[in-house]
Amino acid sequence: MNTIKKPSFIDALIPVAVLVVLLALSVAIYGSDSSYGPNQIVLLIAAGIACLIGLKNGLGWQQLEKAMIHGISLSMGAIFILLAVGSLIGTWLLSGTVPTLIYYGLQILNPNWFYVAACILSAIVAMSIGSSWTTAATVGVALMGIANGIGADAAIAAGAIISGAYFGDKISPLSETTNLAPAVAGSDLFSHIRHMLWTTIPSFIVTLILFTIIGLTEERAGGDVSVENVQNIILSTYDVSLIHLVPLMILIAMAVKKLPAFPSIFIGALIGAIWGAIFQTDLLTNVSESSLFIDHVTVIWTAMFDGFSVSTGDEVMDSLLSGGGMANMLNTTWLIMTALMFGAVMEKIGLLAVFVQSILKAAKSTGSLITSTIATAFGTNLITADQYMSIVMPGRMYKEEYERRGLDNVNLSRALEDGGTITSALIPWNTCGAYMAGVLSVSTLDYWQFAFFNLLNPILAIAFAYLGIKVLKKGEATAT
């Protein structure tokens, strides 16, 4: 029986260094297209190098392969949701749900206040249902359509939607990550949420100010003429009425009831298909060039697996009103699977633990400990490509140290969210970054610098840690 050697710091550094260098090269060569294949190859190469280090240290190939398979299996829930979202977008474009949201949204939203309104609306929806993913796939898709109609910048619009969605998700007691962080850290849910408000509220206020400034100073193409053109094309292509918002209301109701995400979203897609068959018969006849029922069914069926495509005579509107389908989510699925393969090997070999042990030796003060927690959660997001892992792994690794130093567990649970949950959407190969890019049709490399809340929150949390603001001693969280 082979003796398994403990990995050294150099062992841990090599695959990460290779990953960083090759990802930088990938972005330099392919730009925003790097997530459509090049990054996947980089992740596979980095996983292969990590496997070689594991073999050198005494692990067998079967152990490594089993770890990779297990890592991919952890992503299947996210992949199922992603595929269901593809169908949802396809049938909601066909049924008139998304076009109706765009039509009424253009009437309500002032272009100068669009970014801040999109951020607030996304925050309200995410807070209500506890899901940034569902928020992006529903109102987020509609808001991107409205952004197109008023000539707003797609990357800034995506940043506003993501900022709002993650703020609402983070402070919602219905959110999975908001429940997971205190569970791992050993703190109370509502104490955890109250403690997070100290970093989230100021970050969100600054975020809204920034989007307000951008909205008031940005020069747009199109203006009111573009808005009128978009509305006229929607009216000439679709039957538009409030009844087409019923699929959205049903999905939100299922989310509030905390029904599982995958069946809820797929049911939403099926309801969209039924709505399209009932209310958009003229559109189906035009698209299929037939009035036969079977041809209408074919268009609806195709929308679910390959997306919906409409011809309005306007190329920009055709792009706006076409998309979705499970097939269009396969590239994102590939990215998630390869990223989690790499993360699983790194965890199995023990390379992540090596980094944490090295960090703890240097984290002498409370400020440096909290900063290290946030940095480790972010690093885990980079390496394992999964926000749940970025909460669970650092939470397990740092919990004992927080208790040893007499710190309340809410400090740990907040740091896990500040560094893990929030930053996941900023990483192209992370499940969240890949998901947001796929759903909103904007590359992570394009929107990340406009996701102000996601950028500001970890920075403010670190500043609070070093200044000693709301860093609570053991028992203080429950006493307040």
pLDDT reading at 225 higher than 70: no
Asked if the model's pLDDT at residue 470 lies above 90, the reply is: no
- Residues with Cβ within 8 Å of residue 257, at least 6 apart in sequence: none
pLDDT at position 196 is 93
pLDDT digits (tens, 9 = 90+) for 273-290: 999 999 999 999 999 999
More confident residue, 458 or 381: 458
- Say what the pLDDT of residue 423 is: 95
Read off the pLDDT of residues 111-165 as tens digits, 9 standing for 90 and up.
889 999 999 999 988 887 788 988 898 889 889 988 988 889 999 999 999 999 9
Return the pLDDT at 305.
94
Share of the chain above pLDDT 70, in %: 97
Which token pair is 192? 């955890």
User: Which positions ≥6 away from 159 have C-beta within 8 Å?
Assistant: 447, 448, 449, 450, 451, 452
Choose the most confident range, by mean pLDDT, from 73-77, 100-104, 221-225, 282-286: 282-286
Greatest CA separation for the chain: 75
Mean pLDDT along residues 413-418: 94
Q: What are the sequence ranges of the domains in the chain? A: 77-328
Q: Which of 133-137, 266-270, 467-471, 473-477 has the lowest mean pLDDT?
A: 473-477
Q: Which of 253, 257, 250, 304 has its CA nearest to residue 277?
A: 304
pLDDT of residue 239: 92
Q: Which residue has the higher pLDDT, 405 or 221?
A: 405
CA atoms within 13 A on the CB side of 305: 5
Most confident among 6-10, 25-29, 200-204, 383-387 (mean pLDDT) = 200-204
> How does the average pLDDT of the chain come out, rounded?
87
Instruction: Compare 357 and 117 and report the one with higher pLDDT.
Output: 117
Query: What number is the average pLDDT over the span 13-35?
Result: 83
372 pLDDT higher than 50: yes
